[in-house]
């Protein structure tokens, strides 16, 4: 009976860790350079699983063909998206976007849409020249987004908020 009393705190700790990882936050390793310079290959970020209120500019982790991709939300439902001469336009208004200068011209119409439909998002990597994103893989269903990331935990010299 004594070993049960001593083991209860360990069981509680293990259960807490499992529940936190399952429902609240979990680490995700960045694979590739599609989010450079914001994130680098092998950075570890925290996925906030509880955050499902996605907005323009959020960094999100999504399921795509059994892998996790890290991208930035560029368009929300109702938005029209165009990139012309290296400038990003959302709803025909030029947006200050530091990453579009290396981006080829693009229009949401190329994917068969005039605007992002309800329940979908348009995402891109920050390293636009080396990112497989909505320009290639199409719009992302809200259900395929696992949550947002706004905090890097590794490498330790880059520990902190990401934007």
Tens digits of residue pLDDT in 109-122: 999 999 999 999 99
Close Cβ partners of 106 (under 8 Å, ≥ 6 residues apart): 81, 82, 83, 135
| pLDDT at residue 10 greater than cutoff 80 | no
Domains of the chain: 27-161 (2.10.109.10)
| Cβ–Cβ < 8 Å for 123, 136 | no
Distances (CA, A) of 88 to 9, 17, 108, 143: 53, 42, 12, 26
pLDDT in tens, 36-91: 999 999 999 999 998 788 999 999 999 998 889 999 999 999 999 999 998 999 99
Which candidate in 71, 80, 131, 134 is catalytic?
71
Which candidate in 5, 6, 34, 42 is catalytic?
34
pLDDT at residue 1, rounded to an integer: 72
- pTM for the whole structure: 0.87
Residue 71 a catalytic site member? yes
pLDDT at residue 22, rounded to an integer: 67
What are the helix and strand counts (H, E) for the chain? 2, 12
Strands (DSSP E) found in 96-138: 106-107, 120-124
pLDDT in tens, 137-151: 999 999 999 999 989
| Cβ–Cβ < 8 Å for 116, 77 | yes
């Amino acid at each position: 009976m004594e070993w049960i009393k001593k083991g209860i705190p360990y069981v509680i700790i293990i259960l807490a860790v499992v529940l936190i990882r399952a429902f609240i936050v979990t680490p995700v390793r960045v694979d590739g350079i599609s989010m450079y310079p914001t994130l680098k290959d092998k950075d570890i970020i925290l996925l906030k699983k509880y955050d499902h209120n996605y907005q323009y500019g959020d960094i999100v982790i999504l399921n795509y063909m059994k892998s996790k991709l890290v991208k930035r939300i560029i368009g929300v439902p109702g938005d029209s998206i165009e990139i012309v001469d290296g400038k990003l336009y959302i709803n025909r208004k030029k947006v200050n976007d530091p990453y579009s200068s290396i981006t080829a011209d693009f229009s949401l119409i190329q994917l068969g849409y005039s605007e992002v439909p309800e329940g979908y998002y348009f995402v891109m990597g920050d390293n636009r020249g080396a990112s497989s994103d909505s320009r290639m893989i199409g719009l992302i269903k809200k259900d395929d987004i696992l949550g947002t990331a706004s905090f890097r935990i590794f490498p330790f010299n880059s520990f902190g908020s990401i934007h």
